[in-house]
Structure 1
Amino acid sequence: MFEIIDESLEADGSSFIEKLHLQRHPFIDLFDSIFFCYILKAAKYLAQIIVLGGQVVGRAFAKALRQEIQASQQAAKQRGGGQAGAKTAAANSLSGMTVEEAQKILNISKVDAAEVSKSYDHLFAVNDKKKGGSFYLQSKVVRAKERLDSELKLAEQAKGRTIADSNTDNTQGDPRT
């Protein structure tokens, strides 16, 4: 019923089982080559996906960088260069907010001393803690007024300087003096 395989050595010194393991069927070779081709194709597609993904990320990063540079250049133009820009940056860092933010908080369109004071008085009274208001909002209103007051002070100093500069320019060119 059961056949016993004799593992006796053949004439060349190898056993029957060793010969059986060494022989490969042609379909196995075909399967291996097809499987290897699929692995190569998958690796090729994976490499293409990685390269395309890298290109997309690189383009997006470059575009974001260009936009950031352009925005910073526009902000520098708006703030003014040189000493005016440095003073504005110093005022922003001291108060922690820009003029635009302060205008939004006080709900005013232009920086005018009377309008700033009127809006400040109203918002400070409305946000009084005794009336159920918020101390946080009241603090924001105070900081916004401080920021706009510093901006008004800078504008007055700049205006005084330009008037003084124009007076000195006129006297220098006048031969009678």
Structure 2
Amino acid sequence: MSSPRAIIQIAITGTRILGKAFLEAGRQAAKNARAPAAGSVGNDVAGVGNASSGSMTDQLTRQHRMTLDEAHLILNVKRGEEMENVLKHYEHLFKANSPPALPPKSAPPAPRARIPGQFHSHYLQSKVFRARERIEAENKILTEAETEAGGSESSSHPPPPPPPSSGSS
């Protein structure tokens, strides 16, 4: 076999392999474009894209862009914990992520040296705030549902009859 002929055959075989690879990559890209990945929900946070029913919980999840479980994880509280404890955790985390207080105007400016262990994050502070809002909204919905259920039960039943009088007439 001559040298030019072998080079041409190698080039043709390489071109075929490369062409098949590009064709398969194109098919896979078209398939991926048609159907989104199972775990992805676009720009939504996890769980928000799955909140598609008309229930109040799903509406709150879409409105606050945070699931109730995520809010509990952020504030490090368990489901069903009293609101007082939730607010204590909220205040602690909110203050921990706040920027340090500014010195009074009369004091001379201190050097801007960073103190180790003192960090603040507006992003984390806003997540803590949104988590508190989400839990409060869920509690509000639950209390409204309980009062409606309690109010409808009392209105659907007639008042009890008066006790029989034991007097002589």
TM normalised by structure 1 equals 0.50
Give secondary structure in 2 for the equivalent of 1:109: coil
Cα 1:127–1:58 shift into 2, 3 Å: same
* 1:82 and 2:36 are equivalent in the alignment: no
Q: Which residue of 2 aligns with 1:91?
A: 64
* Identical pairs, percent: 25
> Relative contact order (C-alpha < 8 Å, sep 6+): which is higher?
2
AA of the residue aligned to 2:7: Y
Deviation at 1:42, TM superposition (A): 1.9
Deviation at 1:88, TM superposition (A): 2.4
Deviation at 1:117, TM superposition (A): 1.2
Task: Identify the match of residue 122 of structure 1 among 92, 106, 109.
Answer: 92
Root mean square deviation, CA, Å: 4.4
CA-to-aligned-CA distance 1:29-71 (integer Å, 9 cap, x gap) = x85xx52453244223322233135425745875797672466
- Cα separation, 1, equivalents of 2:11 and 2:38: 40
Say which one has the larger Rg.
Answer: 1
Cα 1:65–1:152 shift into 2, 3 Å: farther
Cα 1:54–1:108 shift into 2, 3 Å: farther
Quick check: 1:103–1:109 contact (8 Å CA) kept in 2?
yes
Q: How many equivalent residue pairs? A: 134
AA of the residue aligned to 2:53: G
Deviation at 1:89, TM superposition (A): 0.9
AA of the residue aligned to 2:59: A
Give secondary structure in 2 for the equivalent of 1:122: helix
TM normalised by structure 2 equals 0.51
* 1:142 and 2:132 are equivalent in the alignment: no
- Cα separation, 1, equivalents of 2:71 and 2:51: 16
Unaligned runs of 5+ in 2: 103-117, 157-169
